[in-house]
Structure 1
Amino acid sequence: MAKQGYVNLLHARIPAGTADTAPMVAARADLLSSGVYLPLADALAKVASEHVENGMVIDAGAGTGYYLAHVLDAVPAAYGLALDVSAVALRRAARAHARAGAAVWNLWEPWPVADSSASLILNVFAPRNASQFHRVLTEDGLLVVATPNHGHLRELGDLVISVDGGKDARLEDTLGERFTRVDRREVTQRVTLAPDRIRQVVEMGPSAHHLHRDGRRERLDAITGPVDVTLSFSVTLYRPVS
């Protein structure tokens, strides 16, 4: 057990650019603490309160544990497990909620979690391992997948990785054999972001790995005033197929 409260079960090396770096985690933590993505967190918490009374909630690709903490607040009898490949992120996730633990793990490998042990799996902008989702969920468990919609952050252009229109089809292809979609909820709003928040939006995700290309860093640094941007997400609910 690390002194920060998480356990590292991953001993194999992972490809460069896979895990979130310390600067990416810091940018995400700062942005989330500002409340910019609170509508999404509230939507996930509402789903959990409607469908889950107790048991284990696994956040697959938990990052800092922000969304898991909101869900656990909404379901007082539940407890949580944050799984992520980034030890840097899990230092924060381990402290995100009193009823949550955190373990470093590669989501593409078989999870160190018992069969049929989770009442709810959260998957927020993270890899989707359908076979492991299905294995660890109870028969009446719920999988909740949050994805960015086409047009999310569109005002920032190529400073962020764009969401193409085929993402929904790929999601269904990934999960369709093992899960049935039971609901979908949309979370969309317009917000005004100051330059420091725009920088955090860009630097907290995969786009951070590409800022050295095509003058993107220079264009990001050139933003000196507030920008109105679109935040748009889908929250999709699935039940496992027996």
Structure 2
Amino acid sequence: MNPIERISVYYDQFSIAERKTCNLIIEDPQTVIDNPIAEAAKIYDVSTSSLLRVAKRMEYKGYSEFRYALKDWIKEDKNTHNSSNIIHIIESYKSNLDKMYSYIDEKQIIDFISEFPNSRVFTIGMGNSSLPAQQLTYFLFSTGLWSSTIMDSVQLKYLENCLSKDDLLIFFSVSGSVGSYKEIIEYCKENNIRTAMVTMNDSEYLKKSVTYYFLLPMLSIYNPNNNKNFHRIDNRSIFNIFIEILISFYTPQ
């Protein structure tokens, strides 16, 4: 995952000050590439701690690792700021759809789908991720399978009181937020309750902690022409395409 994709993954979790720093980096990544942290902070007019905090929040070991990652990325994506909004958005979707061929494992999908008929399925998503969670529930209903969607932190907090070994929990999260889901995932792991995570975050913790892990390609933040506000392309469409693929493999019993 390149640095701009990582910014996209964690963007909603950043503070206002951290988002300001991220926006400056996206608009002018060369400042980080060409300068040590003190000089870059001076040029951006932010604190060195803000730059370091952003790098670490994105799971880089420090500023230097982030700096080298940006340098590698800039070589591959020289046209990021030159295309029109229309071209950039359409090309972003096209590129991600092409990437999905290599992200999705058909055997894993088939193994996962085989769990559905004998499970009580909970689809889980917070905020914008609640919409694909609901979408999967509707699809399951249409095939005659029961499902329930969990969409807020209060429901999630008390969910473990209702779970059994026949349950299957399916999480949708762009960021794969460990903070939001760690407690329930750990509970399920300890009690042999199956879990699945559908996310854009390439997280080693999640890979080891859930039964099924589905990584999907991320649509990045970009800077619209003649506009100081940065635009995050909506990733829910990628979730919905994944759900379409998932359900296409299910044959009602």
- Please report the TM-score for the alignment, with normalisation by the length of structure 1: 0.26
TM-score, with length taken from structure 2: 0.25
Larger Rg: 2
- Greater fraction of residues in strand: 1
